[in-house]
Structure 1
C-alpha cells in the first residue's frame, strides 16, 4: 500500500480518521477537533492544498512532534505549527479571522528559512503532535484555556491509549524512525520517551525547547536555540 499512495494521501487519511474520533475526557476538559468542527470544509481545503503541495511523493521523512495543537492555532487550521498568513498565501484559501499567527510559528519560520526553506524542510520532515487533537480546560472564571495532555494525571490516563495509537498511525506515513525531534524538552519529552521505551518507535528522540519558552523567556538567546534546532535537524543551512 505505501507504494500506491503518497505521504500526503496517508496524512490526509489520518486526518479523516481523526474527524471520526470521540474521546471520553474528565469533567472540565474538552477536545477541539479541527477536522470535525464548524470550519471543517475550510480546514479540509487548507490541509489538502498544503499536503498535496509538499508531500505528493513517497519519500521517508522524520517526525517532529509537539505536544498538542494550540486552540487558536493548529487546532483551528489543521496544519501543525504553520503561520496562518503563510497558509493563506500557499493554499489560496481565506483563513483570515479564524486563525492567528503564533510565536511558535514565527520562530519555526526562521529555523526553516535557515534550513533551506519550506520545500527542503518539508521534503525531510513531517510536523505533528503526540496528541493530534487540541485540548482545553475550563478556567476558574469559566473561560477556556489551552491544555496539554500531560497536565493532569486523570486526563493523561484517559488519553493514553489514544496517544499511543496515534503515534503508531503516524509512523505509517512512511516515517524514518532513526530519530524523532520532540518539541518540548520537559513533560512532552518525558512521556514520549517512556512510550518509546515500551514500543520502540524510534532509535532516538532529540528534545528541543518549545518555541514559546524561547520567545517569551529567552529571546536574547534566540540564536543559540535556532542553532540547536538546526543541529537537531541535521543541517546548518547554506
Structure 2
C-alpha cells in the first residue's frame, strides 16, 4: 500500500502548468528549477508522512520564493527545515516570516512530529508566481492578484485541489490561510463543487507577522482552538 509520503512525492514531482500565463507573470516550479529540491522534499515527507493516516488540510495560496520556493515544503524556509525539522540544506539559508509564525504554531501544537501527523499543508496553486517590479526586482504574485491570472490557472488549481484531496485528507473541514481574498475565493468554489463540509478561515501567517506581531500569541491560540474542530 502506498503511504501518504509516496502520494505527495508523486504529486509534487508531476506538477506542471501547460497553459498560458498573462504577460509579465512567471510560474515558479521549485521541483524542476531548483537543484536538490526533490531530494529535500522527499526526505521531509518520508520523515513525517510515511504512513496511511488521514489528515486535515490547511490550504494556503501559492508558494513564496523563500519558503516552498526553496525547500519544496509549504511555509518552511531553510532555517525551520533545519530546526526543528532536522533536515539541513548545505550552503543555503533562507528566511520567510510566514514560516516563523507557522512553526511557532507547530511548536505550540507539540512539534513537527505531532503536527504533521494530523495536518497536511497544501495550496490552491501548489506552484508559485512571480512578477518584476519597476527596476527589475522579482516579487511574489498571488493567483488572485489579477482576474487574468485567476482565469488562466483555474483549471490547473481545480485539478490540483482534487489531487491533494486524493492524498488522504479529511474533507469535513478545510483550514484556509487568509481571511480575505483566499477565503472568499475558496468559499465560493466550495459552494459550487462541495469539496468540504465547512471552511474555517484563519489569518494568513504573513498578515500576522507584518501587521499583528504584538498579538502573535493570540493568533497562535486562535489557530490551536480552530484545530480542535
Counterpart secondary structure, 1:178: strand
Q: How does 1:147-226 map onto structure 2 within 5 Å?
A: 147-226=141-220
**Contact 1:29–1:137 (CA under 8 A) maintained in structure 2:** yes
How far off its partner does 1:157 sit? 0.5
Aligned to 2:115: 121
Aligned to 1:17: 14
Aligned to 2:27: 31
Q: After superposition, give the CA deviation of every residue in 1:129-171 in whole Å (9 maximum; x if it has no partner).
A: 1110010012122321110000001111101111111100000
Counterpart secondary structure, 2:63: coil
How far off its partner does 1:88 sit? 3.6
Aligned partners of 1:106 and 1:171: how far apart in 2?
Answer: 26
In structure 1, stretches of 5+ residues that fail to align are none
Aligned partners of 1:94 and 1:156: how far apart in 2?
Answer: 33
1:5 aligns with 2:2: yes
Counterpart secondary structure, 1:131: coil
Aligned to 2:129: 135
Structure 1 residue runs of 4 or more that deviate by more than 3 Å after TM superposition: 20-23, 88-93
**Contact 1:132–1:166 (CA under 8 A) maintained in structure 2:** yes
User: How large is the RMSD of aligned CA atoms in angstroms?
Assistant: 1.5
Aligned to 1:105: 99
In structure 2, stretches of 5+ residues that fail to align are none
TM-score (norm 2): 0.94
